[in-house]
Amino acid sequence: MVSKGIRTIAVTFLSFAFIYGFRGVTFATDNNHSVLTAAAAPNGADIAWRSVGPGGGGWIESIAWDPNGAHTLYVGCDVGGFYISKDDGRHYERRNTGLKNYFIQDIAVDPNNTHIILLATEGGVYRTTDRGKHWTSIRNGFPPIQRYSFSAPIGCIQFDPVHPNIAFAGVGRPRWGKGGAGEIYRSTDTGLTWRDISTGQLPGDAIVSDIAVKPNDSRIILAATDHGVFRSVDGGNRWTPSDKGLDNIDCQRLAFSPSSPDVVYITVDTTARDNQPWNGGVYRSDNAGETWKPVNGHGMHEQVGKSGDSPYLTDSMMALAVDPRNANIVYAADHDWINAGVLKTTNGGASWREITNSSKNTGNMQYGLIDFWGPSVECMALSPADPNRVAIGTSGHVFVTKNGGLTWDQRYCEMLPGGRFTGTGLETTCPNTVIPSDSYPHKAFYCYADIGLLISDDDGKSFERSYKGMKYAGNCFTVLEDPSRPSTLWAATGWWDHNAGDICMSVDGGATWRVVGDPNTGLPDGQTRYLVLDRRSPVNRRTLVATCEGHGIYESKDGGVSWKCINGNLPAEACRMPRGLLINPSNSNRILIALGGFPEDGSGVYETTDNGVTWSKLNIRNEFADIRCITASPRNFSSLYIGCQESYDQTSKTDYPGGVFKSTDGGESWRLTLSDDTISSVAIDPQNPQTIFAATNDFPYHDDYAAYGLLISKDGGSTWKKENHGLSLLDVNNIAVSSVAPYLLYVSTQGNGVFIGGTQR
């Protein structure tokens, strides 16, 4: 669990960080009604899900070409799982069935049987025999699965090119610089069983970031770690350091030359800062890794950042590939923010030239939607079947060159006439929420992390980006539409990774924006996750109520032009963690706020009837903690639902259950209608308030995700069943139901973008 001092609770300011929970799924029995268990419920087809989105937008962690097919590309995401493209990345299919961890750190394709693929995930090794249509978690030889940690996160995986029945896997979490255990595993049956072959020979905390086997002699194996290079000459039984010639031992990626097997290259991270000499780049060995020499010739990026700055402000070579026809033709990728891109040498590193140019006027890259950050390259693959074909994965894009780097085509979205765009199957985004329009049945506002606010007016078939005038254009938390004037909108924007943000207003349907809620107008600098409108207030003086993370509740009576705090007597500790906001549509003086945390800090559901001067707590029995959401029936404001995640208070030695709680008397009493520790969102069908939807979400801090998608109840929460037919990712962080399109339901997933479902009412 996540600790807060000596007290354990699932509370965070980030939209991503939902706590993992206990995986036992039980359901309450109420009024002698036996409730269906989720584990026994079949995947019903009442809802058929359709993936929608702009394409790309999330971190591409791994990439590989099929050894025998020049057009088949495999892509692995940091939170979105596995994708396959059979047409050079023009279109993708997600293949996540069987995966319980979606952070794909590396991909290995069996060169003898390309239907067999091994994945290195933070939750261990996964194996397929049908190119990813079905995955199996491989645990034979690895430590037992852990509930609250990673037992053996696999940072890299590699088949032996001479004997493909043999494979190697290294332990660690290279992207985060943690998780090392100094362990390398070997399989002799194409990944079915594994054995640790290095314990005690590598430093106990070494992160293994890459493994390479000599192309013509599988006795010689190299492992790149943050403690240097380790070499084996007997197939992996014995390992010794092999760092002679390296100026720095924080090693990243390895690549042997198939045409000259004694030649091998390695990328080394730079630890230099301030005025220290740059000490990273590319090194070469001409004796299969016994000794090394730098090959950072003219053209190599060597900029050094300042101490305390992000490491992405220092040039650092990461991904690496060698042309199989010529040992002197090498590609190396810079994954920083200042000189991001790919370098190429044709003379073994004596000189380098940059072959990616993202300039809109003179560049050689077709950029697509995401042209507001550069190609910070995280992974690269050269096609064995066509060595001129190179693919790179970045922090938001996939690019492919078919001519050795002369030109690059984006391979994650399709640009449409008029500046609109649509996805091609590579949906790697983490949307915060989707807000369906209350005025137009085919329109919705898609609020994303990293790529900001997108608007679609054709049920997600195409999108346009809405950002002009926003200070924080890269991240949108929620949108509010004025039903009396649908062209008037308010949007909450800010940073996703720390608590900063504002509220913007548009009077032209999102074409342009201006900031109306910030410290200058009375609203503190912080993330606004909840924003509601008093529809009974005068159109020209709309009353808005907003939560501000870390500060509490604020009100504007002039359409957002000015703000004042209405925390009143709310407990200060819990007030900083708003988890839901409601305003009674028939009595705007009645406002409900859900506050996160523990009851002894004041968490719970509160009500005000005097514009925030005084608040009274509704759940005085403290049945629950760690509230994640609150919603009310659109036809009866006294019918309330909240979603909670399981938590434990070590101070009071109290277990608080997770699940969906229901009140039919305005919050005075509550009963547990669904017991589950991963609830993230609850929504009510506005056409039929007896139909309730509950989402499950589990942040990946342990081997297996506990989330299992969406649940539906058609009897007000008495019975539930899963509705995941067509969902490729079961981590759902938000649900939204259209009030004007009678069958549309939107779910926001934690890595596969948005799905739209059609419901039968």
Task: Answer yes or no: is 400 within a domain.
Answer: no
In a domain, 486, yes or no: yes
Distance CA 311, CA 317 (A): 12
Predicted pLDDT at 39: 32
Q: How confident is the model at residue 37 (pLDDT cuts 50, 70, 90)?
A: very low
pLDDT at res. 665: 96
Q: What is the pLDDT of residues 68-87, one digit of tens each?
A: 988 999 999 999 999 999 99
Q: Is the pLDDT of residue 597 over 80?
A: yes
Please say if the pLDDT value at position 566 is more than 50: yes
Residue with tokens 């091998």: 264
- Looking at the domain assignment, is residue 559 inside a domain? yes
For residues 587-602, give the mean pLDDT: 93
Whether the pLDDT of residue 35 is over 60: the answer is: no
Bigger pLDDT: 237 vs 496: 237
Judged against a pLDDT cut of 80, whether residue 223 lies above it is answered with: yes
Do residues 612 and 692 share a domain?
Answer: yes
Same domain, yes or no: 592 and 529 = no
Average pLDDT for residues 493-498, to the nearest whole number?
91
* Per-residue model confidence (pLDDT) at position 758: 83
Q: Looking at the DSSP assignment, which residues form a beta bridge with residue 137?
A: 126
Q: Give the mean pLDDT of 299-327.
A: 94
Flag whether pLDDT at 568 surpasses 90: yes
Chain segment 452-487, per-residue pLDDT in tens: 999 999 999 999 999 999 999 999 999 999 999 999
Asked which of 497, 530, 565 is the last residue of a domain, the reply is: 565
621 and 752 share a domain? yes
Q: What percentage of the chain has pLDDT greater than the value 90?
A: 84
List the single range of 368-372, 382-386, 699-703 with lowest mean pLDDT.
Answer: 699-703
In this structure, the answer to whether residues 619 and 679 fall within a common structural domain is: yes
Residues 482, 617 within the same domain = no
Over residues 625-642, the mean pLDDT reads 95
pLDDT at 376 (0 to 100): 92
- 694 has a pLDDT exceeding 60: yes
Q: Are residues 607 and 490 in the same domain?
A: no
Q: CA 70 to CA 162: how far, in whole Å?
A: 21
Residue 706: band (very low, low, confident or very high) from pLDDT cuts 50, 70, 90: confident
In this structure, the answer to whether residues 560 and 585 fall within a common structural domain is no
- pLDDT the model gives residue 45: 56
Domain, as residue range, for 676: 1-53+429-433+576-761
CATH code, 587: 2.130.10
Distance from C-alpha of 592 to C-alpha of 714, rounded to nearest angstrom: 25
Q: Which residues of 522-555 are buried (b: 16+ CB within 10 A; e: fewer)?
A: ebbebbbbbbbbbbeeeeeebbbbbbbbbbbbbb
Average pLDDT rounded to a whole number, residues 214-238:
98
Confidence grade of residue 653 (pLDDT, cut at 50, 70, 90):
confident
pLDDT digits over 284-295, tens only?
A: 999 999 999 999
Are residues 691 and 589 part of one domain? yes
Residue 737: is its pLDDT beyond 90? yes
- 665 and 684 share one domain: yes
Whether residues 628 and 702 fall in one domain: yes
Is residue 577 scored above 50 in pLDDT? yes
Is the model's pLDDT at 691 over the cut of 80? Answer: yes
- The predicted pLDDT at position 11 comes to 31
Report if residue 202 sits inside a domain. no
What amino acid occupies position 326?
Answer: N
pLDDT, one tens digit per residue, over 168-194 is: 999 999 999 999 999 999 999 999 999
Band of residue 514 on the pLDDT scale cut at 50, 70, 90 = very high
Give the model's pLDDT for residue 705. 83
**Mean per-residue pLDDT of the chain:** 91
Number of domains in the chain: 2
- For residue 277, tell me if it sits in a domain: no
pLDDT at residue 626, as a whole number = 93
Q: Are residues 629 and 706 in the same domain?
A: yes
Contact 22, 15 (CB under 8 A): no
- Classify each residue of 351-372 as buried b or exposed e, where b means 16 or more C-beta atoms within 10 Å of its C-beta: ebeebbebeeeeeebebbbbee
The beta-carbon contacts of 709-716 under 8 Å, at least 24 apart in sequence, are 710/47, 710/735, 710/747, 711/38, 711/674, 711/676, 712/46, 712/47, 713/673, 713/674, 714/690, 715/690, 716/662, 716/673, 716/689, 716/690, 716/692
Q: Quote the pLDDT of residue 33.
A: 26
Question: pLDDT tens digits, residue range 385-440?
Answer: 999 999 999 999 999 999 999 999 999 999 999 999 999 999 999 999 999 999 99
| Model pLDDT, residue 741 | 86
Residue 365 · residue 399 · CB < 8 Å: yes
According to DSSP, the residues that pair with 489 across neighbouring strands are 481, 506
Q: Is residue 659 part of a domain?
A: yes
| pTM reported for the whole predicted model | 0.92
Average pLDDT over residues 626-651: 93
Residue 225 maps to a domain: no
**What is the SS3 assignment for 586-609?**
CCCCCEEEEECCCHHHCCEEEEEC
Alpha-helix runs per DSSP H in 109-241: none
- Residue 9: the pLDDT is 35
> Which pLDDT score, from 0 to 100, does residue 743 have?
76
CA distances from 372 to 301, 474, 516 (A): 22, 9, 24
Question: Is pLDDT above 90 for 361?
Answer: no
pLDDT confidence band for 28 (50 / 70 / 90): very low
Indicate whether 602 and 745 sit together in one domain: yes
Is 28 among the domain residues?
Answer: yes
CA-CA distance, 529 to 477, in Å (whole number)?
6
Residue of 263 and 21 predicted with greater confidence: 263
Does residue 670 surpass a pLDDT of 90?
A: yes
